[in-house]
Amino acid sequence: MRYIFKFPDIGEGLTEGRIVEWRVKPGEEVKAGDPLVTMETDKVVTDIPSPKQGVVVQLYGEPGEVIHVGQALVEFDLVGAADVSAAVATGVNPSAKQATSSASANAGVVGTLEVAGDDAIMHAGDEAGLHLATLDKHVRVLATPLVKAIAKDKGINLADVTGTGPGGRIMKEDLTVYAQMRNKVDREEVPVSKHLDSDNKVQVVQLSQMRKAIARNMLRSKDKAAHLTIYDEVEVAELDRIRKQYKDLYAKEDVKLTFLPFIIKAVCLALKAHPALNAEIDLEQGNMTYKQYYNIGIAMDTPKGLVVPVIKHADIMSIKEIAAAIQRYTMLAEAEKLTLSDMSDGTFTITNYGSVGGKFGTPIINYPQSAILGIGKIAKQPVVKDDALMVGLVLPLSLSVDHCVVDGAESTRFLNQVMLYLNDPIRLMME
């Protein structure tokens, strides 16, 4: 029995991926769960496992080619196809039998599977247990009739658009962002580098999936959020003294203690007092969602681009636990082993450009979150303390907020509270 496995919807609004490497070849027999292909998506490089046991007949696509959700990836001859023939002989619907038996065979496998020439769809989940959307012969999308009409008028395939509304619904603003990206990015893509004449040399390279995602997200954030940025500095000599006091103790447990865990802890406490900075706005529905959990995203620079792993429920973690989580995510990011689960459901983001020497910046909000905190380079500076001039250790901070969600006064009060905790770390521990 022939069976076509299509590129699955693996969640987080991903609509396409680029083939990095085929892990199988035609004529090879594979088991359920064996890796078929390594794909680069907007957020991760991941292996797509086989949903069934069978013999590979055909591979669809070459390394470097972009494949959209719902497009064919691999065609199989299924092992045990004789069972299907027997089922037909006994009057049992083979599609129904196949769908029933798939529940156990597909456990832990990424994807939504479709049998060639059959309308029966079988579902499976990835290792993180994500809920996967159902695919029919065309990728289903959530959009109002008005949005569909606008898309049709502009020649936009809604299956290519990432929805930012509730449940992944496509909004009018998403069409605007997609149109901008199509004009600014897609036309620049070419499969190979090109060189012009020796007097005016340029090199044009193909955009990675991650770089395209970063560009789309930045455009979406600037298009949908009213950015307001506040800049300030805080003296952290006492915090540095405490950090140095405990860093050797933590090092014995292979945990590196930096300033960042203290900043994350201070942010969590301040968010509880200022919930608007841990909220999302839905203008179409006319409501605000105040999140009462505190998942802090940490922007990390990698050779392939920006990734934002999320420390879940950071407010109930100790400084040591937060430091260990940061260290773990740093190693996973460097090894390109982060999963979609690692980068999902953030409520507030911190970006540390001070690690590469920056002082102040204007961080772009990780939409649909309402705020992001930028950390600058810590440096010794003259400060006045108790009417005396002395050398202090100063940390620059840049807070960007969505002015649609939170006003400048509330944003300043939030930042002041964060700085209070960092300037007086005993208060941070006591609260």
Reported as a single tens digit per residue, the pLDDT across 235-261 is: 999 999 999 999 999 999 999 999 999
Task: Using DSSP bridges, classify how beta strands 296-302 and 348-352 pair: parallel, antiparallel or unpaired.
Answer: parallel
| Nearest C-alpha neighbor of 217 from the set 293, 143, 297 | 297
pLDDT of residue 249: 92
The structure tokens listed for 241 are 């003294």
228-430 CATH fold: Chloramphenicol Acetyltransferase (3.30.559)
Q: Average pLDDT of the chain?
A: 79
pLDDT given for residue 141 in this prediction: 66
Joined together, the tokens standing for residue 303 give: 């050779």
Residue-wise pLDDT tens digits, 184-206: 555 544 455 555 555 678 878 77
What class has domain 145-213? few secondary structures
Q: Where are the domains of the chain?
A: 2-123, 145-213, 228-430
pLDDT at residue 90 in the model: 41
**Given 123, 227, 274, 403, which residue is catalytic?**
403
- In this structure, the number of other CB atoms found within 10 A of the CB of residue 403 comes to 14
pLDDT in tens, 255-282: 999 999 999 999 999 999 999 999 999 8
Contact between 350 and 295 under an 8 Å Cβ cutoff? The reply is no
Structure tokens at 309: 């792993």
Which portions of the chain are predicted below pLDDT 50? 81-139, 188-190
pLDDT at 195: 52
Asked if 29 and 144 count as a contact pair (C-beta separation under 8 A), the reply is no
Q: Classify residue 29 by its DSSP letter.
A: E
What is the architecture, at CATH level 2, of domain 2-123?
A: Beta Barrel (2.40)
According to the model, what pLDDT value does residue 74 have? 92
Whole-angstrom distance, CA of residue 139 vs CA of residue 114: 12
What per-residue confidence (pLDDT) applies to 228? 94
Candidates 375, 431, 397, 428; CA nearest to 266 is 428
- Is 403 one of the catalytic residues? yes
What is the amino acid identity at position 286?
G
List all residues 6 or more positions away from 154 whose beta carbon is below 8 Å from its beta carbon.
175, 179
Q: How far apart are CA 415 and CA 231, in angstroms?
A: 9
Instruction: Count other Cβ atoms within 10 Å, centred on residue 125.
Output: 17
* pLDDT at 287 (0 to 100): 92
Distance in angstroms (rounded) separating the CA atoms of residues 80 and 90: 16
